[in-house]
């Protein structure tokens, strides 16, 4: 086919104008149509596949949390997105390959025509086609090659994107063929000569024109087959889908349960949505249900599933990624700072100026080169041109004046975005409910929180590197078109397009490898965090070698994944360089040939090479950026998933603050379960009047801790109601409820700060004297003063530098400082010795602090709760008994049985002490000592230890006379039984507590005695009448009570 070009004095016909322009814009129109339709298709299909539910709660700062999405299990009619089967896909692939070969045939025909015309010499020179023809053939060939690649790559192909492209291509091919036929059938001009040729008029068709017409006709036939075949297959598929839909609709209408799925009633079951039955999918928050926590067990599993570290994620389109990451934008945009917004505007202006400089530098380089050529044998120094070149180079690049100024101005904006996002993530984690924190892995959460920098990096690179890079590439194509012609614009477009495509394609195939590397990195961090946090446990079990090996394996796994990613990255760099250098070679050789023929100047050649070198920068950056942004998005996935987890207990829309609290609590038929299959509480009802003490006892797993969690609103009850001063706690704000409740947990966690910091944490406004008073009430003040640094002592990680008893007393003092109206003690004195426990309880119960306050106590040591106004016995989440200590003993039920076991343990400890004292007396009488090398005192002491199970703290030492007299009386009633001997080692009344070093502190502190707080302590002594104690116990305050039980209880036990 002859490329037509009007010569000097020749006016082209309308057919010639249409023919040239249609060839020039044909591949451009198809490319833009394909990109736009593919983008729209991606958006539409992402909305089809995932239903978006608007968030019902707000995140930190009142900003919306991420959308909750769920996959549809059934799709209704999707005519444009129907998959026509593998056979049809294969047919379209062959047809598309044939379409590409037709353009290859056009190129071969042009090359053969040019070779055959080389011998034809005359006034017009050699034959060659014009640039419009080259753009049409080469551009279309490269475009349809990409379309062919998508037919193999895309899972559902061909689709509506291909159909639109083929329809437009069919129309363009018809226009090109018809205009060419009109030209060649009449008088037309053939272009001979490569350098500014003069057209030669010819009449009729020649052989080459027939070849071009034949190839064009075949191409139209191929495109027509693809268009009509796709339309027919899609129409048939839609008809079948409609018939199936009508059948399902008719079955659905006859279903008796169909009314339950209509209207606005929520349905949480799976199934298809038809008509107006808009399913309300279950969200993670559970908001709006009776149980604010939702179904706690399910919520916990959902939370764990939502924060599960995926090994592989399903494919996501660019729109799905942008929609997911758009949740971060409200935290990143400085909406409340006009100053930062002004800085952002200035930065964008500087970016636009940098784009102008990037164009000016290569153009100025060409001007300087042309100016350096001598004219008429005279050489002149182009000072002005050289000065402008230096100025442009000074302003160019990220290290130039404009780039440096932009970076300096961007510092406060970057700091704002990082600060806003990381603090929002931190606040969000604290807003999550207990069910999340019970199942979390601390190392995983910390790793996710550290990804705020990745999101910040993603935003900055997108704003100031990606967008300018795309602008540079677009400007480059326009620059080459205007400066060098359409052929060079085509070369640059092909290089750019396939460079970007290759980068995205190869990086996408290695996304799983990069995700494996990120997961391995997180696993390494988690192993390291867990091992260091559990330092003592590692030492207890001599597991250092195991931990070293575990961490070493985590590092090896990370390095193996990192090696795969590094190999893939270098392989991609090689392919990128090959693509660019191939295009660079073609452009350079073409321009060099034109310079040698005199059609281009040396300055144009220098300008072209300079701009190509400058273009390589954005292309190389895109390869690096795509890997970086992929890394940032994969890293940000964890933070995004963390944001998607919503708290299960939240404030409702109409809640109110609890202004004051008297401590009146009432539980009405409360039911709760962590797992639907096993209820934790069932039909629990009780009332706690202001100023009373309620104790909860029962075996482990009976529901005692769950009562405290519901009371503190870690969860909401699923059945019944919990009232505080006559208000349902669900109608009160969580913060106001917790403000009036103080909790002393069994396991106290302290910050790795000073004791004063930990104590004032409960009340930052407390004075130091208030802290001292609280510590005196908790019997810890003198102990703290004995430390070298006093209240400035660092407690260590989680308070591990303190003993268990010390930590518990610090927790009690901290609760006293909070000054709550309701106090919940969860085994709060389990680690204390009897004397210290008695002092503390005297303060909590009968002192000024405990007056008028409501106490809830969980206790396994029954002697600590005999004073309670009511004791509730829980079994399997149900209240089986309730009453005072005496009432429950008289009842002879589960509590009485527990009390009998407790008394046995007390008696066993008493007998053990008697035996120990008797051994001491015998050793004293025999005048034996540990320092006597010729005696067997040690063996006697050892035998006593073996018999009693306890070691006397004074074994082997002389006993004073008055103590000998005392022990002689104690020994007269020494007797043993099976129960005693069997309970010595397991007794709760051990003689030496881990906190025994604190047992005599604050002896000079006078505390009031209240019989209600008498805690049982086994002793060996005499009654007032001089008779020894045997089956009695003496309270730690000095009052004796009998362990005798009703006859029926003893018989049953």
Confidence of residue 318 (pLDDT cuts 50, 70, 90): low
* Amino acid 1041: pLDDT: 42
Is residue 1002 scored above 60 in pLDDT? no
CA angle, residues 623, 628, 633, in degrees to nearest 5: 125
Higher-confidence residue of 1022 and 122: namely: 122
CB atoms within 10 A of CB 635: 25
Q: For residue 595, is pLDDT > 60?
A: yes
Residue 434 has pLDDT above 90, yes or no: no
Number of H helices, E strands in the chain: 33, 17
The whole model's pTM is what? Answer: 0.57
- φ, ψ of residue 225 in degrees (nearest 5): -60, -45
Query: What confidence score (pLDDT) does residue 802 get?
Result: 87
Confidence of residue 195 (pLDDT cuts 50, 70, 90): very low
- Whether residue 660 has pLDDT greater than 80: yes
Q: Residue 870: which of 858, 859, 880, 883 has the closest Cα?
A: 883
Model confidence pLDDT, tens digit, residues 11-66: 677 888 888 888 888 998 998 899 898 888 877 776 544 444 444 445 544 555 44
Q: How far apart are CA 178 and CA 220, in angstroms?
A: 11
Residues 112-137: tens digit of each pLDDT: 887 777 655 444 445 667 788 888 99
Cβ–Cβ under 8 Å, residues 608 and 587 = yes
pLDDT of residue 47: 52
Q: When comparing pLDDT for 338 and 189, which is higher?
A: 338
Paired strand residues for 675? 678
303 vs 547, more confident = 547
Please, which pLDDT band fits residue 1014 given cuts at 50, 70 and 90?
Answer: very low
Angle at 557 (CA atoms; ends 553, 563), nearest 5 degrees: 140
> Given a cut of 70, is residue 975 above it in pLDDT?
no
The superfamily CATH assigns to domain 296-644 is ABC transporter type 1, transmembrane domain (1.20.1560.10)
Average pLDDT, the chain: 73
Answer with the residue of higher pLDDT: 312 or 950. 312
Contact call for residues 658 and 849 (beta carbons, < 8 A): no
Which helix H or strand E contains 530, and what residues bound it? helix 511-533
Q: What is the pLDDT of residue 962?
A: 38
Cβ contact 92:151 at 8 Å: yes
Contact 727, 658 (CB under 8 A): yes
Q: For residue 521, give every residue at least 6 positions away whose Cβ sits within 8 Å of its Cβ, in sequence order, or none.
A: 558
Q: Are 355 and 468 in contact (CB under 8 A)?
A: yes
pLDDT at 904: 87
Q: Does residue 1041 contact residue 1035 with C-beta atoms inside 8 Å?
A: yes
What tokens were used for 843? 């303060």
- Contact by Cβ (8 Å): 284, 68: yes
Q: Specify burial of residue 125 (Cβ count, 10 A radius: 0-12, 13-18, 19+).
A: middle
Which tokens go with 174? 């018809």
Backbone φ and ψ of 606, nearest 5°: -65, -40
pLDDT the model gives residue 95 = 93
The order of strands in the sheet holding 1040-1042 is: 1016-1017, 1032-1035, 1040-1042
The ranges assigned to domains in the chain are: 14-41+85-251, 296-644, 665-897, 898-1052
With contact defined as beta carbons under 8 Å apart, do 513 and 565 qualify? yes
**Bridge partners for 754 per DSSP:** 794
Closest CA to 842 of 637, 646, 1002: 1002
User: What pLDDT, in 10s, does the model give residues 355-376?
Assistant: 888 888 888 888 888 788 777 7
Cα 99 to Cα 144: distance, rounded to the nearest angstrom: 7
Contact of 160 with 41, CB cutoff 8 Å: yes
Cis peptide before 747 (omega within 30 of 0): no
CA pair distance 446, 433, nearest whole angstrom: 17
- Which tokens sit at 828? 């709060």
- Cβ atoms 860, 827 nearer than 8 A: yes
Q: What are the DSSP calls for 723-752, one per residue?
A: EETTEEGGGB-HHHHHHTEEEE-SS----S
> Residue 704: CB partners within 8 Å, gap ≥ 6?
696, 697, 698, 858, 874
Please state, in angstroms and rounded to a whole number, the distance separating the CA atoms of residues 949 and 953: 13
Mean pLDDT of 149-162: 86
**Chain segment 909-929, per-residue pLDDT in tens:** 888 888 888 888 888 877 554
Residue of 977, 1023, 1051 whose CA lies nearest to 1042: 1023
User: In the structure, what pLDDT confidence band is assigned to residue 443 with cuts at 50, 70 and 90?
Assistant: low
- Residues 758, 795: contact at Cβ < 8 Å? yes
pLDDT in the model for residue 952: 39
pLDDT at 834: 63
Neighbour tally for 417: CB within 10 Å: 24
For residues 552, 558, 561, 562, the Cα torsion angle rounded to the nearest 10 degrees is: -120
Spacing of C-alpha 499 from chain mean position: 33
Q: Of 792, 712, 801, 785, which Cα lies nearest the Cα of 759? A: 792
Output b/e per residue, 566-595; b: 16+ Cβ within 10 A: eebbeebbebbeebbeebbeebeebbeebb
CA 166 to CA 150: how far, in whole Å? 14
- Inter-residue contact 718 to 291 (CB < 8 Å): yes
Rounded Cα gap, residues 107 and 98, in angstroms: 14
Flag the least confident range among 37-46, 454-463, 680-689, 783-792.
454-463
Counting Cβ atoms within 10 Å, is residue 456 exposed (0-12), middle (13-18) or buried (19+)?
buried
Q: Is the pLDDT of residue 236 over 90?
A: no
- Which residues neighbour 220 within 8 Å (Cβ) at sequence distance 6 or greater? 170, 173, 174, 177
Specify whether the CB–CB gap between 640 and 674 falls below 8 A.
no
- Distance from C-alpha of 628 to C-alpha of 638, rounded to nearest angstrom: 16
Residue % of the chain over a pLDDT of 70: 68
* pLDDT exceeds 90 at position 98: yes
Reply yes or no on whether the pLDDT at 206 is more than 80.
Answer: no
Q: Considering only 317-321, 347-351, 708-712, which range has the smallest mean pLDDT?
A: 317-321
- CA separation for the pair 307, 441 (Å, rounded): 10
- pLDDT of 180 over the 80 cut: yes
Per-residue model confidence (pLDDT) at position 688: 93
Sequence-distant (6+) residues with CB within 8 A of 258 are 252
Task: Return the minimum-mean-pLDDT range out of 98-112, 391-405, 601-615, 751-765.
Answer: 601-615
| Residue 666: strand, helix, or coil | strand
Q: Tell me the longest C-alpha to C-alpha distance in the chain.
A: 147
Q: Choose the most confident range, by mean pLDDT, from 190-199, 589-598, 843-852.
A: 589-598
pLDDT single digits (tens) 789-810 = 999 999 887 787 888 888 888 9
Mean pLDDT of 224-252: 81
Q: How confident is the model at residue 759 (pLDDT cuts 50, 70, 90)?
A: very high
- pLDDT attached to residue 981: 36
pLDDT at 606: 84
Q: Which fold has domain 665-897?
A: Rossmann fold (3.40.50)
Q: How far apart are CA 846 and CA 853, in angstroms?
A: 10
Residue 280 has pLDDT above 90, yes or no: no
Minimum mean pLDDT range among 54-68, 124-138, 234-248, 713-727: 54-68
The more confidently predicted of residues 960 and 682 is: 682
Question: Lowest-confidence range among 257-271, 422-436, 931-945?
Answer: 257-271
Question: What does DSSP assign to residue 529?
Answer: H
CA angle 760, 763, 768 (to 5 degrees): 50
Average pLDDT score over residue span 506-522: 78
* Torsion angles phi and psi, residue 300, rounded to 5: -65, -40
Residue 405 vs residue 154, higher pLDDT: 405
Contacts of 928 (CB under 8 A, 6+ apart): 935, 936, 937, 940, 956
Worst-scoring range by mean pLDDT, 567-581, 648-662, 860-874, 1016-1030? 1016-1030
Backbone angles phi, psi at 816, to 5 degrees: -60, -40
Pairwise pLDDT comparison (999 vs 576), residue with the higher score? 576
Give 975 or 155, the one with higher predicted confidence: 155
Which pLDDT score, from 0 to 100, does residue 321 have? 64
Determine the pLDDT at residue 473: 80
């Amino acid at each position: 086919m002859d490329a037509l070009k009007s010569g000097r004095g020749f006016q082209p016909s309308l057919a010639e104008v249409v023919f040239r322009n249609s060839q020039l814009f044909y591949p451009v129109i198809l490319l833009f149509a394909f990109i736009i339709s593919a983008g729209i298709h991606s958006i539409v299909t992402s909305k089809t596949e995932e239903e978006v539910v608007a968030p019902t709660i707000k995140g930190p700062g009142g900003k919306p949390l991420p959308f909750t999405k769920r996959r549809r299990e059934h799709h209704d009619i999707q005519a444009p997105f129907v998959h026509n089967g593998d056979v049809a896909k294969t047919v379209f692939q062959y047809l598309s390959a044939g379409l590409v070969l037709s353009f290859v045939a056009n190129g071969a025909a042009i090359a053969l025509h040019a070779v055959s015309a080389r011998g034809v010499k005359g006034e017009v020179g050699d034959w060659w086609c014009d640039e419009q023809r080259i753009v049409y053939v080469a551009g279309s060939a490269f475009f349809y090659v990409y379309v062919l690649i998508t037919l193999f790559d895309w899972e559902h192909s061909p689709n509506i994107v291909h159909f639109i492209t083929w329809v437009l291509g069919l129309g363009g091919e018809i226009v090109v063929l018809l205009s060419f036929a009109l030209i060649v059938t009449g008088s037309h001009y053939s272009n001979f000569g490569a350098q500014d040729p003069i057209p030669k008029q010819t009449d009729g068709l020649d052989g080459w024109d027939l070849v071009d017409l034949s190839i064009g006709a075949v191409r139209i036939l191929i495109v027509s087959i693809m268009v009509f075949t796709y339309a027919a297959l899609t129409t048939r598929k839609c008809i079948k889908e409609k018939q199936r839909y009508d059948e399902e609709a008719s079955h659905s209408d006859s279903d008796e349960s169909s009314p339950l799925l209509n209207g606005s009633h929520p349905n949480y079951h799976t199934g298809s949505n038809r008509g107006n039955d808009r399913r309300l999918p279950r969200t993670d928050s559970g908001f709006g249900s009776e149980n604010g926590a939702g179904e706690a067990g399910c919520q916990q599993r959902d939370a764990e599933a939502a924060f599960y570290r995926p090994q592989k994620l399903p494919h996501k389109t660019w729109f799905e990624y942008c929609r997911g990451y758009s949740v971060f934008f409200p935290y990143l945009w400085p909406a409340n700072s006009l100053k930062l917004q002004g800085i952002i505007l200035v930065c964008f202006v500087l970016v636009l100026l940098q784009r102008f400089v990037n164009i000016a530098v290569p153009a100025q380089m060409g001007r300087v080169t042309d100016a350096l050529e001598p004219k008429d044998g005279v050489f002149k120094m182009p000072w002005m041109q050289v000065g402008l070149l230096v100025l442009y180079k000074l302003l160019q690049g990220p290290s130039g004046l404009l780039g440096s100024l932009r970076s300096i101005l961007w510092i406060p904006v970057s700091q704002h975005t990082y600060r806003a996002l990381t603090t929002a993530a931190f606040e969000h984690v604290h807003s999550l409910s207990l069910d999340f924190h019970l199942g979390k892995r601390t190392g995983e959460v910390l790793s996710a929180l550290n990804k705020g920098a990745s999101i910040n990096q993603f935003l900055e690179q997108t704003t100031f590197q990606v967008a300018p890079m795309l602008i540079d590439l677009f400007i480059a194509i326009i620059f080459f078109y205007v400066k060098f012609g359409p052929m060079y614009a085509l070369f640059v477009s092909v290089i750019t397009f396939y460079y970007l495509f290759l980068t995205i394609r190869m990086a996408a195939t290695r996304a799983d490898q990069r995700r494996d590397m990120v997961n391995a990195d997180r696993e390494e961090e988690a192993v390291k965090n867990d091992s260091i946090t559990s330092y003592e446990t590692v030492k207890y079990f001599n597991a250092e070698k195991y931990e070293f090996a575990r961490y070493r394996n985590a590092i090896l796994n990370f390095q193996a994944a990192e090696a795969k990613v590094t190999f893939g990255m270098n392989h991609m760099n090689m392919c990128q360089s090959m693509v660019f250098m191939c295009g660079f070679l073609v452009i350079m050789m073409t321009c060099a040939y034109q310079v040698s023929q005199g059609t281009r100047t040396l300055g144009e050649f220098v300008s072209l090479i300079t701009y190509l070198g400058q273009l390589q920068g954005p292309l190389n950056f895109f390869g690096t950026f795509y890997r970086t942004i992929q890394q940032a998005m994969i890293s940000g996935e964890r933070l995004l998933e963390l944001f998607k987890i919503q708290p299960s207990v939240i404030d409702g829309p109409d809640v109110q603050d609890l202004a004051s609290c008297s401590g009146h609590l009432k539980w009405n038929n409360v039911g709760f379960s962590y797992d639907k299959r096993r209820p934790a509480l069932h039909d629990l009802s009780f009332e706690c009047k202001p100023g009373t003490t309620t104790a909860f006892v029962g075996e482990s797993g009976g529901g005692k801790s769950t009562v405290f969690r519901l009371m503190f609103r870690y969860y909401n009850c699923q059945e019944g109601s919990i009232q505080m001063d006559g208000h349902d706690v669900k109608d009160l704000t969580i913060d106001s409820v917790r403000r009036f409740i103080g909790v002393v947990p069994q396991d106290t966690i302290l910050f790795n700060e000073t004791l004063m910091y930990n104590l004032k944490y409960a009340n930052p406004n407390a004075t130091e004297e208030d802290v001292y008073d609280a510590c005196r009430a908790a019997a810890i003040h003198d102990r703290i003063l004995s430390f070298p640094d006093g209240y400035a002592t660092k407690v260590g990680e989680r308070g591990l530098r303190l003993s268990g008893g010390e930590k518990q007393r610090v927790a009690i003092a901290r609760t006293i400082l909070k000054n709550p109206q309701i106090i919940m003690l969860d085994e709060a004195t389990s680690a204390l010795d009897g004397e210290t426990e008695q002092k503390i309880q005297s303060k909590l119960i009968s002192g000024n602090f405990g007056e008028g306050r409501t106490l809830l106590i969980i206790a396994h040591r029954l002697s600590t709760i005999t004073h309670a106004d009511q004791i509730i016995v829980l079994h399997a989440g149900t209240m089986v008994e309730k009453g005072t200590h005496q009432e429950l003993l008289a009842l002879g039920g589960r509590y009485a049985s527990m009390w009998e076991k407790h008394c046995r343990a007390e008696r066993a400890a008493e007998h053990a002490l008697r035996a120990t004292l008797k051994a001491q007396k015998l050793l004293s009488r025999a005048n034996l000592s540990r320092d006597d090398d010729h005696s067997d005192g040690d063996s006697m002491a050892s035998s006593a230890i073996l018999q009693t199970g306890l070691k006397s703290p004074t074994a082997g030492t002389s006993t004073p006379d008055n103590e000998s007299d005392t022990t002689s009386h104690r020994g007269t009633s020494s007797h043993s039984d099976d129960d005693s001997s069997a309970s010595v080692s397991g007794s709760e009344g051990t003689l030496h507590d881990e906190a025994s070093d604190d047992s005599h502190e604050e002896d000079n502190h006078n505390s009031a005695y209240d019989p209600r707080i008498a805690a049982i302590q086994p002793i060996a002594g005499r009654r007032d009448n001089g008779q020894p104690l045997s089956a009695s116990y003496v309270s730690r305050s000095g009052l004796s009570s009998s362990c005798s039980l009703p006859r029926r209880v003893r018989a049953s036990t």
